[in-house]
Amino acid sequence: MNLPSPPRHIAIIMDGNGRWAQQRGWLRTKGHEQGSQSVRESLDACLEAGVEYLTLYAFSSENWKRPAFEVQGLMTLLEHYLNEKVHELKENGIRFQAIGRLEKLPPKVQQLLKKTTEATAGHSKLTLTLALNYGGRDEIVDAIKAIAQKVLREEIDLENITTDVVANHLYTAGMPDPDLFIRTSGEMRISNFLLWQLSYTEIYVTSKFWPDFKKADLLTAIEEYKKRERRFGKA
């Protein structure tokens, strides 16, 4: 008897950090700090379940509109995470990468992203991807521009542009599309996240805020995924 396979790729919108903190009378940045522990627990769950890819929506292109102190707090937290966790990622065989318009991030953050990516490049047990200054529409626009340039250079014929060609020009080129998409805090939106890649992804929404989302919660979501029948448009 074949047991149901775990998802190869899980994508998560880590929502509710600010509301979690405000309910406790704290600054929103405290929620982001606490949420970093949920990242650790999610990595543990993925390693235990045999998940190959975990993609986290860490900072959207729209998040720049948030209060300056919160944006600065998020960047500081990201710097701390990259500085403190690189050895832990390496010890657990985790490859790190980031996607988005990274050139718009603070120079120090860009340097740490590059350093962490290079330091973990040889690992393959699990790939952790942070979506930073990321927008799904921006990603598709950037892919169209890259393909158009190749058409102009006569490297690609217009008639030969397929869905595979588009996918290979997205930020996620070389990665499988997510099998399971999780959003915390109960919001029923995908919020400009992986618009192309989520076409046939199974969706799981929990009312828990991200800081309260623990290893057991992700394992529960994985078990729920295993019960789904994925038909991809077939009868």
Q: Catalytic pick from 15, 177, 179, 217? A: 15
- Encoding tokens for residue 29? 């940045």
Q: What's phi and psi for 94, nearest 5 deg?
A: -100, 130
The CA distance from 16 to 38, in Å, is 12
Classified as helix, coil or strand, 202 is strand
- Residues 6 or more apart in contact with residue 196 via CB below 8 angstroms: 136, 139, 140, 166, 167, 170
Helices (H), 50-186: 68-91, 107-119, 136-152, 163-167
**Known active-site residue 164:** no
**Nearest to 64, CA basis, from 129, 142, 11, 135:** 135
Q: Catalytic pick from 44, 63, 192, 212? A: 63
**Known active-site residue 15:** yes
Task: Determine how many CB atoms are found less than 10 A away from the CB of residue 36.
Answer: 18
- Encoding tokens for residue 91? 């010890």
The residues assigned a catalytic role are 15, 63
